[in-house]
């Protein structure tokens, strides 16, 4: 099941996006609706709210007076945190029940205003952020929901900033245009990314780029580091319960600022023992996070070439997301392959001349080899010399893997 978190500031239009996704076939759970459900009369959550905020937030019929509660919590950060501590666990538990009821292979959408604030985005395969400028949001809240302007601004200020949401956004939907514009953007997202991603997950199929080197290798892109940070965070969260991981790191050419590369995010997962990667709970966690083991790719070329090949054994996985191609290299902490992945990245970051020399070699090989597989294989002789220069640099600088 593909998990998609939809979020955005109050008044941004995220509910419109979720409604359209439901029309397209998604199974949608609305956190606001769940939040209303868990504070219905007779629910223990409502009693805890009464105990914390007083009888003034309860109407004569025993229901929650939302306006009275909002007037208390939105101007006061501590009060808002106290409310979240009461309602958050109840909302999460009920939302989990509802999402678990989705059909197998479905696109499960969680419409959640506090997806970023609570760090819940790491448990979603994709985070979709709906954006609208603040003044438009204030106007909508005043005109469409009847809020006072000060109240609207307090509510907006209590939520995550645009920068914080963008940091975790795999997709940003701009809702500053017409309703038709937004609907078309959602339809495109569904057809081009969500549906194919869900199919890949259900079938255990990794997403692949075309095997044409000149199309795959591109100039440096500004979003590589942010994309990698989201992959690293999600993998770390998925694997944390297994207890096998020592670190998750962005590696490879996309981790080196200014270096052209295949538009593929490479991530290394360090484990205590490589055999841990074959455990059932680890494989299940990786599959649930959207990564598929690739059979027949179990080692890297040793460096130097006469080195013990056992130090270069790994497990290799590919991501299922057609909109963000990811390779995951699982290596044993302390092994030669694990160490070199980190050393190569840091060496390239600290030695611009070496980075530029590598870029020049890439361009030379791209002119000679048309398929990505041939291009990758042709780089191996260069890596033999690079391994020695990187090792020398590590000795001179006192570098150690972190």
Is the same domain home to 28 and 172?
yes
Residue 348 belongs to some domain of the structure: yes
Residue 14 is labelled as binding a ligand:
yes
Is the same domain home to 177 and 323?
no
Is the same domain home to 136 and 225?
no
Residue 38 belongs to some domain of the structure: yes
Task: Tell me the two tokens of residue 386.
Answer: 């690079």
Is the same domain home to 149 and 246?
no
Is the same domain home to 255 and 386?
yes
| Contact indicator for 38, 87 with CB cutoff of 8 Å | yes
Is the same domain home to 98 and 127?
yes
Segment 32-51 shows an average pLDDT of: 95
Long-range contacts of 78-86 (CB under 8 A, 24+ apart): 79/53, 80/158, 82/52, 83/49, 83/52, 83/53, 84/114, 84/118, 86/45, 86/48, 86/49, 86/52
Residue 249 is labelled as binding a ligand:
no
- Sign, CA dihedral 356-357-358-364, equals positive
Is the same domain home to 237 and 190?
no
pLDDT at 295 over 90: no
Residue 127 is labelled as binding a ligand:
no
Per-residue pLDDT tens digits for 236-251: 999 999 999 999 999 9
Residue 12 is labelled as binding a ligand:
yes
Is the same domain home to 178 and 218?
no
Residue 137 CA to residue 151 CA, distance in Å, equals 12
pLDDT at 268 over 90: yes
pLDDT at 143: 86
pLDDT at 376: 87
Residue 209 belongs to some domain of the structure: no
Residue 326 belongs to some domain of the structure: yes
Q: Are strands 291-293 and 245-251 parallel, antiparallel or unpaired?
A: unpaired
pLDDT at 203: 95
Omega before residue 304 within 30° of 0, cis:
yes
Residue 176 is labelled as binding a ligand:
no
Residue 355 belongs to some domain of the structure: yes
Q: Are strands 217-218 and 315-319 parallel, antiparallel or unpaired?
A: unpaired
| Contact indicator for 53, 72 with CB cutoff of 8 Å | yes
Residue 43 CA to residue 56 CA, distance in Å, equals 18
pLDDT at 30: 96
Is the same domain home to 303 and 361?
yes
Report the CATH number at residue 133. 3.40.50.300
Q: Tell me the residue range of the domain where 269 lies.
A: 214-397
Is the same domain home to 298 and 355?
yes
Q: Cα dihedral angle (257, 262, 267, 268), rounded to 10 degrees?
A: -100
Q: 3-class DSSP state for residue 197?
A: helix
pLDDT at 167 over 90: yes
Residue 54 CA to residue 150 CA, distance in Å, equals 23
Per-residue pLDDT tens digits for 320-349: 999 999 999 999 999 999 999 999 999 999
Among 203, 228, 260, residue at a domain's last position:
203
pLDDT at 27: 98
What's the chain's average pLDDT? 94
Assign 3-state DSSP to the chain and report helix, strand, coil percentages, each to 5: 55, 15, 30
Q: 3-class DSSP state for residue 239?
A: helix
Report the CATH number at residue 271. 3.30.460.10
Residue 9: name the closest of 190, 146, 108, 136 by CA. 136
Residue 402 belongs to some domain of the structure: no
Which residue in this structure is represented by tokens 């952020």? Answer: 129
pLDDT at 65: 95
Task: Tell me the two tokens of residue 142.
Answer: 């005043």
Residue 13 is labelled as binding a ligand:
yes
Is the same domain home to 291 and 146?
no
| Contact indicator for 126, 170 with CB cutoff of 8 Å | yes
Which whole-number Å values give the CA distances from 99 to 4, 31, 68, 368, in the listed order?
A: 11, 11, 31, 51
Count of domains for the chain = 2
Segment 170-195 shows an average pLDDT of: 96
Q: What residues are paired with 269 via a beta bridge?
A: 248, 330
Residue 156 belongs to some domain of the structure: yes
Residue 68 belongs to some domain of the structure: yes
Residue 309 CA to residue 230 CA, distance in Å, equals 32
pLDDT tier, 219 (very low <50, low <70, confident <90, very high otherwise):
very high
Per-residue pLDDT tens digits for 82-123: 999 999 999 999 999 999 999 989 999 999 998 999 999 999
Is the same domain home to 337 and 375?
yes
């Amino acid at each position: 099941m593909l998990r998609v978190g939809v979020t955005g500031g109050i008044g941004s239009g995220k509910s419109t996006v979720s409604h359209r996704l439901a029309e397209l076939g998604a199974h949608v759970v609305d956190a606001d609706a769940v939040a209303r459900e868990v504070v219905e009369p007779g629910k223990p959550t409502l009693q805890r709210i009464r105990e914390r905020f007083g009888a003034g937030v309860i109407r004569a019929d025993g229901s929650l007076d939302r306006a009275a509660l909002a007037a208390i919590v939105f101007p006061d950060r501590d009060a808002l945190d106290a409310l979240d501590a009461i309602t958050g666990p109840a909302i999460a538990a009920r939302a989990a029940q509802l999402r678990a009821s989705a059909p197998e292979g479905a696109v499960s959408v969680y419409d959640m205003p506090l997806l970023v604030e609570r760090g819940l985005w790491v448990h979603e395969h994709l985070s979709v952020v709906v954006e609208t400028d603040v003044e438009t949001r204030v106007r909508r809240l005043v005109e469409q929901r009847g809020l006072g302007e000060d109240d609207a601004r307090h509510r907006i200020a209590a939520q995550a900033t645009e920068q914080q949401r963008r940091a975790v956004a795999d997709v940003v939907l701009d809702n500053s245009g017409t309703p038709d514009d937004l609907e078309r953007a959602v339809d495109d997202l569904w057809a081009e990314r969500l549906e194919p991603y869900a199919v890949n997950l259900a079938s255990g199929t990794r997403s692949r780029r075309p095997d044409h080197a000149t199309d795959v290798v591109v100039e440096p892109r500004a979003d590589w580091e942010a994309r990698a940070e989201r992959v690293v965070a999600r993998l770390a969260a998925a694997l944390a319960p297994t207890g096998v991981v020592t670190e998750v790191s962005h590696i490879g050419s996309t981790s080196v600022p200014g270096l052209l590369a295949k538009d593929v995010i490479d991530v290394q997962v360090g484990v205590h023992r490589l055999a841990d990667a074959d455990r059932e709970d680890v494989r299940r966690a990786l599959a649930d996070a959207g990564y598929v083991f690739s059979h027949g790719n179990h080692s890297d070329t040793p460096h130097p070439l006469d080195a013990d090949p056992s130090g270069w054994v790994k497990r290799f996985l590919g991501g299922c997301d057609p909109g963000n191609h990811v390779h995951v290299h699982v290596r044993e902490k302390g092994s030669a392959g694990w160490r070199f992945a980190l050393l190569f990245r840091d060496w390239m970051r600290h030695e611009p001349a070496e980075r530029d020399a590598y870029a020049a070699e890439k361009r030379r090989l791209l002119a000679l080899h048309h398929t990505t597989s041939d291009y990758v294989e042709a780089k191996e002789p260069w890596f033999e010399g690079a391994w020695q220069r990187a090792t020398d640099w590590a000795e001179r600088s006192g570098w150690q893997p972190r």
